Chain A
Amino acid sequence: MTDNPNQHPDEERIDAVDHIIFRELGEQARLKQKMQEWEERKRQQRRLRLLPVVSNIASVAALFVMGLFLQAMLPDTKVATDILPQIEQHEDTPPAQTTDSLSIAE
């Protein structure tokens, strides 16, 4: 209630009700603000949860692109088909005896 002696009783009554109304408006607004904060936090959490997934996808994609790039950079795929059999053939032949091993055998 107000202390103003000139105030009409009706006005005084309205002031008392207004006081409750303003408080209620404030409380509801505060709760709404809190809800907005919770929503924002939830969105951030979701973003953070998605971040590792996105980075994993990005690194896999980067590796794939790098593979494609390397493949394109190699002079010819014939390298693999020509050299590999030669290496295999080389591995199959027995190693040549060294002079040291011959002297020991004698």
Chain B
Amino acid sequence: MRTWTDIDMVNAILRNDERLMERCYTDCRHYFVQHAGAIFVDEACAHDIFQDAIIHLWREIQTRRIEVFEGRVCRWADSQLIPMRSSIMTFLMAVAKRKNWEQVRQQQRWQLTDNDRVLETLDNHRYDAPQEDISETEMRERVVTDAVLAMTERCRQILTLFYYEHRSLDEILALRPENSTKMGLKTSKYKCMQRLRQRVHDRFKQLNISL
């Protein structure tokens, strides 16, 4: 049975209260499994989408795009903090649905191309207008978060394995049989990083954020 409120969840993520975060996560997962069956056909894909939705929510809260104000969970929209009309669960489901839709769209685009080009979703609607009381550093981090979240799972995996886990290309090749050659993997990694950088730079320019 759910023993926490949306406010508890927001505070848990803000305070990095792992115990409560774990409880919220497992309850949300349970809810997702019960209700997502009709939306997502592939179970493994649904699992990834759910985790991405959680990361999205976690970032929204960490960067205070969602926060507790006057005893209510509010969200920044049009430079204003507006009480959220939906629950956190509903918000999560909406994010997951959107991510699912993005993936379907991506797959369709992948099917259209037969080379190993890195395609990413062009999802500009996720960016909110910068709020006046948000520092440039925060805004910069948000842009990067969104850009990383908007990457394909494939790109994110390659870059995470290479730059975060410091795995060699040979090791990544062994972990990802999808990449047939080392050279192909190297090209993919380079292109993924280039696209990510480009997206971040474009967005910085758009928002007048200095480097």
Question: Is chain B found bound to chain A in the same assembly?
Answer: yes
**Cα of A29 to Cα of B144 in the assembled complex, Å:** 14
CB-based contact A29/B141 at 8 Å: no
Interface of A is mostly: helix
The B120-154 residues at the A interface (CB cut-off 8 A) are 140-141, 144-145, 147-149
User: Which size class do B's interface residues fall under?
Assistant: 20 to 34
How many A-B pairs with Cβ below 8 Å?
A: 60
Which one of B3-11, B95-103, B158-166 contacts A? Answer: B158-166
Interface of B is mostly: helix
> Given A38-B22, A38-B26, do A22 and B164 touch, yes or no (CB 8 Å)?
yes
The A8-67 residues at the B interface (CB cut-off 8 A) are 13-14, 16-18, 20-22, 24-26, 28-29, 31-32, 34-35, 38-39, 41-42
Known: A17-B201, A25-B164, A28-B160. 18 other contacts (CB 8 A): A20-B140, A20-B141, A20-B144, A20-B200, A21-B148, A21-B197, A24-B141, A25-B156, A28-B55, A28-B156, A29-B160, A31-B54, A32-B51, A34-B18, A35-B54, A38-B22, A38-B25, A41-B22
Name the 5 nearest CB pairs between A and B, nearest first: A20-B144, A38-B22, A26-B164, A24-B144, A13-B211
* A residues neighboring B (CB under 8 Å): 13-14, 16-18, 20-22, 24-26, 28-29, 31-32, 34-35, 38-39, 41-42
* B residues neighboring A (CB under 8 Å): 18, 21-22, 25-26, 29, 51, 54-55, 58, 140-141, 144-145, 147-149, 156, 159-160, 163-165, 193, 196-197, 200-201, 204, 211
